[in-house]
């Protein structure tokens, strides 16, 4: 039984004209049917080289490198402010295959930005994130979350240094309570401390204590801590 191919009708004239134009090299502004505008270099009818693209529906502008019709290389992305009508910088950095990829800086709300590595449009690798509430994280990222080794500075001056997974404190790490001059050194599971030691720090230099806390000793504290961590991991908590 033979199959008949349906007739899709005549091709739009603009598509035929665009194909015949064979745009290459530097061109003046080219307008798309959806209202977008591009001014820059072309190769084989594709945006290629340096160029500026205005996204009408998104009220945004990209200026930078293009490779075969996609943002690739270094470029900036600005969005128009609804109140002032001015364009505000959102991202400046490297791109690949139309996504943020490489090193770049992304500006979120006021006083909040990320500077570091990107992979396929997500924060990955080593980076520094400053939050609007005063917190700051610097360390490893994966899929837009803290993952690996890093340090988290809180607005209240306390900080955590150690392992992260899926955006949470996970694994060995130290939490410094700067308001009470204490440090917790232990093991964490999904932001919850499971086992470790809590010690006073810095009181010798401050001279505010007359008597130190009595020292508690075990036969082998390192072995006891390792045994506690092993039991926690076996329970899968």
Could you state, in chain order, the average pLDDT of each consecutive group of 10 residues for the chain (237 residues)? 54 60 70 92 92 96 97 97 92 98 93 96 97 96 96 95 96 92 93 89 48 49 62 61
Q: Identify the structural domains of the chain with CATH numbers, from first to last.
A: 15-107 (2.20.110), 118-237 (2.20.110)
**DSSP, res 81:** -
Query: In whole angstroms, what separates CA 47 from the centre of its chain?
Result: 27
What was the pLDDT predicted at 212? 44
Structure-token pair, residue 94: 């490297």
What pTM does this model have? 0.74
- For residue 13, the surrounding DSSP H or E stretch is helix 13-21
What was the pLDDT predicted at 210? 42
Name 134's Cβ contacts closer than 8 Å, sequence gap at least 6.
154, 155
What was the pLDDT predicted at 209? 40
Residues 130, 136, 140, 145, Cα dihedral to 10°: -70
The DSSP annotation for 93-114 comes to EEEETTEEEEEEEEE-STT-EE
- Cα dist from 80 to 50, 55, 60, 90, whole Å: 22, 11, 6, 10
Strand partners, 136: 130, 153
C-alpha 155/C-alpha 137 separation (Å) is 11
Helix (H, G, I), strand (E, B) or coil at 231: helix
Helix (H, G, I), strand (E, B) or coil at 143: coil
Strand partners, 47: 42
What was the pLDDT predicted at 7? 56
What was the pLDDT predicted at 214? 45
- Cα dist from 110 to 11, 125, 135, 153, 212, whole Å: 48, 24, 14, 19, 45
**DSSP, res 158:** -
């Amino acid at each position: 039984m033979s199959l008949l191919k349906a007739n899709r009708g005549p091709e739009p004239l603009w598509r035929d004209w665009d194909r015949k134009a064979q745009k290459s090299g530097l061109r003046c502004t080219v307008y798309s049917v959806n209202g977008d505008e591009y001014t820059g270099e072309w190769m084989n009818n594709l945006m290629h080289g340096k160029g500026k693209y205005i996204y009408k529906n998104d009220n945004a502008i990209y200026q930078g490198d293009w490779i075969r019709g996609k943002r690739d290389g270094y470029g900036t992305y600005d969005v128009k402010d609804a109140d002032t009508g001015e364009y505000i910088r959102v991202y400046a950095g490297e791109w690949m295959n139309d996504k943020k990829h490489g090193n770049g800086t992304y500006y979120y709300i006021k006083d909040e930005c990320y500077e570091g590595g990107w992979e396929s449009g997500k924060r990955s690798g080593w980076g520094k994130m400053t939050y609007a509430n005063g917190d700051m994280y610097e360390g490893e990222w994966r899929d837009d979350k803290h993952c690996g080794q890093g340090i988290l500075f809180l607005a209240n001056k306390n900080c955590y240094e150690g392992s992260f997974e899926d955006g949470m404190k996970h694994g060995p790490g130290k939490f410094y309570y700067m308001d009470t001059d204490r440090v917790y050194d232990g093991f964490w599971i999904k932001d919850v401390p499971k086992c470790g030691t809590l010690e006073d720090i810095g009181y010798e230099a401050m001279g505010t204590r007359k008597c130190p806390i009595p020292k508690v000793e075990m036969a082998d504290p390192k072995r006891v801590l390792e045994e506690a961590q092993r039991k926690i991991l076996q329970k899968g908590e």
